[in-house]
Amino acid sequence: MHSKKLGFIGLGNMGGRMTRCLVDSGIEVVGFDPQPGAAKKAGAREAQDIGQIVDECELIMMSLPDSKVVENVMLQQGGILSHCRSGQVIVDLSTASAASTLRLHSLLQEKSVAYVDVGISGGAAAAEKGQLTLMVGGEESVIQGIEWAFSPIASKVVVMGGSSAGHTTKLLNNFLNAVSLAATAEVMVAGKKAGLDLQRLLDVFNSSSGVNFATINRFPSIIQGDYLEGGLTGKLMTKDLVLYADLLHQLGMTSLNSAGPLASFGLATALGYGDVISNRVVDAIGDISGGIRLYSSDN
């Protein structure tokens, strides 16, 4: 596990950036993605299929859209489960269902393969710089043995507990992210419609009790016309919210606060903003509020 070589499955928006950081730190990465040229773009040596990665590497990382894709990569013929061997470590950096994570952990455990689930936060900008926050679930001894693979991609690593603890933490974090983004978008549209100076409005929020991640890190750019493209899409945000609601159902809880952001990001998808950055939810709310935009060339 100290050969400084690993396999990486899923070289998209986040996985590609993480792979580039790993490669730039001197780690040999064997990569696989169905998108032609993704491995080369990220600086990895391209594998022909998933089986090749599992055959070659003791440590395999995955960054995939959701649990359905993770399960397919894991369970399909020629996938990870059919190729893995005792002593390997699989690190899942996807935003995934905690229940699915526990099932996959159990299947891999039967083959003496470790499964580490990792929630990531910071978006594309942090991934580009290797400054992600990682929330990790799994056996601590296993996690300690792969710290060399985390250090090039993260500025903060927090071990949250056993299997599924990392993915659970990620869903809780993403729910708060969705609430603050949707609510702030609504408030900013209201401020614009009321004729308020949006920069001054943000200055007030950021020195008052309404301050949140969106007021500090998103809307100062958005009111200048920069939506910070390249991050989590509206559809993926909606997927995370559904996973959060499902988690609470499994915990025997009801979610009293998920309806608002689900409605906001569902609206954004219905109006054509689902495949762009989730920050565009502000335009969806603006559309149904009389065609409001926070920024215009006349600003």
Residues with a catalytic annotation lie at 170
Give the tokens for residue 225: 């016309």
- Phi (first) and psi of residue 57, to 5 degrees: -115, 140
| CB contact set of 182 (below 8 Å; sequence gap of 6+) | 260, 261, 264, 265, 281
The neighbour count for residue 241, using CB atoms within 10 Å, is: 26
| CB contact set of 213 (below 8 Å; sequence gap of 6+) | 177, 180, 181
Q: Are 116 and 143 in contact (CB under 8 A)?
A: yes
Q: Count of H helices and E strands in the chain?
A: 16, 8
SS3 of 227-251: the string is CCCCCCEHHHHHHHHHHHHHHHHHC
As a whole number of angstroms, the distance between CA 239 and CA 265 comes to 10
Give the tokens for residue 129: 């710089």
Type of residue found at 159: V
Q: Are 108 and 90 in contact (CB under 8 A)?
A: yes
State the alpha helices, DSSP H only, in 25-164: 38-42, 50-56, 67-75, 80-83, 98-109, 123-129, 140-145, 147-150
As a whole number of angstroms, the distance between CA 42 and CA 19 comes to 6
DSSP 284: H
The neighbour count for residue 230, using CB atoms within 10 Å, is: 15
